[in-house]
Structure 1
Amino acid sequence: MKRRTILVIAILLASMFLSAKALKVAYVYVGPVGDAGWTYAHDLGRQYVEKVFGDAIRTDFIESVSEGAESESVIRSYAQRGYDLIFATSFGYMDSVINVAKKYPKTIFMHCSGYKIANNVGTYFGRIYEPDFLSGLIAGIMTKSNIIGYVAAYPIPEVVRGINAFALGIEYVNPAAKVHVIWVNSWYDPALEKEAAISLLNIGADVIAQGQDSPAAQQAAQEYGVYSIGYNSDMEKFAPKSYLGAPVWNWGPYYKRVIKEVMAGTWKSEQYWGGMADGVVDLDISDLVPNTVKKLVSVFKEAIISETFHPFVGPLYDQEGKLRVPAGDIPSDSELLSMDWFVDNVVGTIPRQ
């Protein structure tokens, strides 16, 4: 009888588990999952939560969705099909998310890198400027020509802030070095990224950094026999003779947290901006970087995590020599999120959109 009772209970529990509605989670990507960068990092996060939650969730994604009307159509389609939670993973999806969210108040939307929220819309991003600064320390020490190239995506605060943090890291260890910026106005265009990198290499850059999703700029650096710094993920396999490291994303734990909150009914709209202390961003470092440099980076990393140092502590001057951040001051999050000026060791302009 005991065995039969146990068997009946097991069957009932299994039946309840199978009949439970799986949480439907959708991801909208601006690039291909194979970009080795931004979208690849988000999709690793999606795969991570699939393993964590198993049959309790069902995920889907659509890649290479253009910002604008197409993104609104895709996001609306997921909401219409009853998806409980939708992650929109590009800044340009912001208005599309807000528009769709108004019509589907029971659906939860999470928008990456934006600033508009609603009762059923939250935002999330990481303080990638922290590892950007650390990568600048490496670039400033490793350069010999003092010309460091940066292939930049779009002239938006997110990108400008990252370039500035990188440049400040360089300036901290090498005041003679300059960061030369070329804009490509694309998140993912390997041919254009490589062309821009070659333009920088031709003016003498011996370190190439980037803000896009493909490893094309690093591959160009390797072909020219100089160093490179990637972005978004570990890209060493694409340019092993060139790659010094990269600021990287780790979305899995954050996606796990949000999904658990939605399942428990405790989710509330928020504007999340986590840093290295949360583990959502970090710096990958290759073996091409000398141990002495790694130790220096480690010291600054611990100082940033413990909040005894901030990459944007003043005094900071812009390209015209104007004091933007007084000595000892730190810009507010609002000022960082709206940054539209370059620090004084950056060569290049910010096109006004």
Structure 2
Amino acid sequence: MKLKSLLVGLGILAGAASVQAEEPFKVGFIYVGPVGDLGWSYEHDLGRKGLQEHFGDKVETTFVENVPEGADALRVLSQLAKSGNDLIFTTSFGFMNPTVRAAKQFPNVTFEHATGYKRADNLGTYALRTYEGRYVSGVTAGLMTKTNTIGYIGSFPIPEVFRDINAAYMGAKSVNPDVKMKIVWVNSWFDPGKETDAANALMDQGVDVMLQHTDSAAPLIAAEKRGIRGIGQASDQSQFAPNAHIFSVRDNWAPYYIKATQAVMDGTYKPSDFWGGFAEDMLVLASINDNLPADVRAKIDETYASIKSGAFHPFTGPIKDNQGNLVVPAGHTLTDEELAKVNWYVEGITDAAPR
């Protein structure tokens, strides 16, 4: 007690306690693209800013953008962990294995990986039910197309992208039995040049409504120039194509980032596989265009409400793949674990699924 009193009297112990009390909880993020992509990475960064605003000076956030999905990701993760970050969010599918390795190397740091499926004691996963937005997009495209040909720009052949292509096609088919889907893969998340080329290639094949799983507004800009319609990806992209833009399916990550950070700060965190969608307001239909026909707008609202309430799930069987195999039995709805393994096209898509 005498030693403690002496330290306090000298201001040493009290000063140390004061510094410790004021130390913010550190949260790091890595992004696969630039924060200015106005798509996927942009919305993750808005989520980071929402987290920062919610907690104020109790939390300190940092981010690294344009991180390649490979060895560089592990290097960046190591730097973030060594810099004192208590929680690190890795926001692209290709960061999965580097995140698993980092979680093993830094057991006192909590990691959260977006869209993956590998977990550990200090590693959880989280995803958006983007297929919900794609199904509404498909319904809309099926009603809007005049050529009965809709297009989809794919990024990488991973389960999330397969799910969303299938959901879009099933949505279109539900309202237009004659609809066809053309797909072009660009093997990139963000490459405006490749995305523009893909959009033009699709339009050259008669596509008059275009969807995308890439992050720039380039496809919508191309659609605007050629007088067709399109749907924005990840963020509100209406400003780039005032006539072509139908709506955007906007990702809203802030609610999850706040929830996960609070759990780690409270010591109640347990790694899990979290999925958020319309019901959690983590997917939003943004800037629905006033130039849509009234019946199309009504169908958008109806389909959205049905999915949000849980009355309808796009992946309820019977569903066959395009090889004739029954992949979802009648009456069965794919579980989240099953959704994470989708690597097939649904019946009616004529392309061979890439690997």
Interval of TM-score (by shorter of Structure 1 and Structure 2)? over 0.9
**Matching residue of 1:336:** 339
Match of 1:130 among 119, 129, 132: 132
**Matching residue of 1:69:** 71
Deviant stretches of 4+, over 4 Å: 15-19
* Per-residue deviation, residues 280-307 of structure 1 (Å, max 9, x unmatched): 1232222232332222222222222222
Q: Which amino acid aligns with 1:322?
A: N
What is the rounded CA distance, in whole Å, between the counterparts of 1:263 and 1:328 in structure 2?
41
Offset of residue 277 of structure 1: 0.8
Q: Which TM-score applies when normalising by structure 2?
A: 0.92
* Per-residue deviation, residues 230-285 of structure 1 (Å, max 9, x unmatched): 21111011111101112221001111111111221111111111221111123222
What is the rounded CA distance, in whole Å, between the counterparts of 1:247 and 1:213 in structure 2?
12
Match of 1:185 among 184, 187, 190: 187
Match of 1:197 among 196, 199, 205: 199
2:314 maps to 1:311: yes
Matching of residues 205-224 of structure 1 within 5 Å = 205-224=207-226
Instruction: Determine helix, strand or coil for the equivalent of 2:157.
Output: coil
**Matching residue of 2:9:** none
Q: Which amino acid aligns with 2:155?
A: A
Matching of residues 1-353 of structure 1 within 5 Å = 19-284=21-286, 285-352=288-355
Q: Is the 8 A contact 1:108 1:121 kept in 2?
A: yes
Instruction: Determine helix, strand or coil for the equivalent of 2:153.
Output: strand
Q: Is the 8 A contact 1:122 1:270 kept in 2?
A: yes
Gap change, CA 1:288 and 1:347, over 3 Å in 2: farther
Percent of aligned pairs sharing the same letter? 44
Instruction: Determine helix, strand or coil for the equivalent of 1:262.
Output: helix
What is the rounded CA distance, in whole Å, between the counterparts of 1:332 and 1:223 in structure 2?
41
Instruction: Determine helix, strand or coil for the equivalent of 1:110.
Output: strand
Instruction: Determine helix, strand or coil for the equivalent of 1:230.
Output: strand
Q: Which amino acid aligns with 1:247?
A: V
Instruction: Determine helix, strand or coil for the equivalent of 1:82.
Output: coil
Instruction: Determine helix, strand or coil for the equivalent of 2:35.
Output: coil
Instruction: Determine helix, strand or coil for the equivalent of 1:231.
Output: strand
What is the rounded CA distance, in whole Å, between the counterparts of 2:22 and 2:155 in structure 1?
44
Q: Which TM-score applies when normalising by structure 1?
A: 0.92
Gap change, CA 1:69 and 1:143, over 3 Å in 2: same
Aligned length: 339
- More deviation, 91-100/276-285: 276-285
Offset of residue 165 of structure 1: 0.4
Gap change, CA 1:326 and 1:103, over 3 Å in 2: closer
Q: Which amino acid aligns with 2:45?
A: D
Offset of residue 229 of structure 1: 1.1
Q: Is the 8 A contact 1:134 1:283 kept in 2?
A: no
What is the rounded CA distance, in whole Å, between the counterparts of 1:258 and 1:330 in structure 2?
27
What is the rounded CA distance, in whole Å, between the counterparts of 1:65 and 1:345 in structure 2?
37
What is the rounded CA distance, in whole Å, between the counterparts of 1:69 and 1:61 in structure 2?
18
What is the rounded CA distance, in whole Å, between the counterparts of 1:269 and 1:324 in structure 2?
29
Q: Is the 8 A contact 1:181 1:347 kept in 2?
A: no
- More deviation, 153-162/275-284: 275-284
Q: Gaps (5+ residues) in structure 2? A: 1-13
* Per-residue deviation, residues 314-351 of structure 1 (Å, max 9, x unmatched): 22222233333233332232222111111123242222
Instruction: Determine helix, strand or coil for the equivalent of 1:154.
Output: coil
Instruction: Determine helix, strand or coil for the equivalent of 2:168.
Output: helix
Q: Gaps (5+ residues) in structure 1? A: 1-11
Q: Is the 8 A contact 1:138 1:289 kept in 2?
A: no
Instruction: Determine helix, strand or coil for the equivalent of 1:86.
Output: strand
Gap change, CA 1:25 and 1:176, over 3 Å in 2: same
* Per-residue deviation, residues 12-53 of structure 1 (Å, max 9, x unmatched): 9xx969942101111100000000100001000011111111
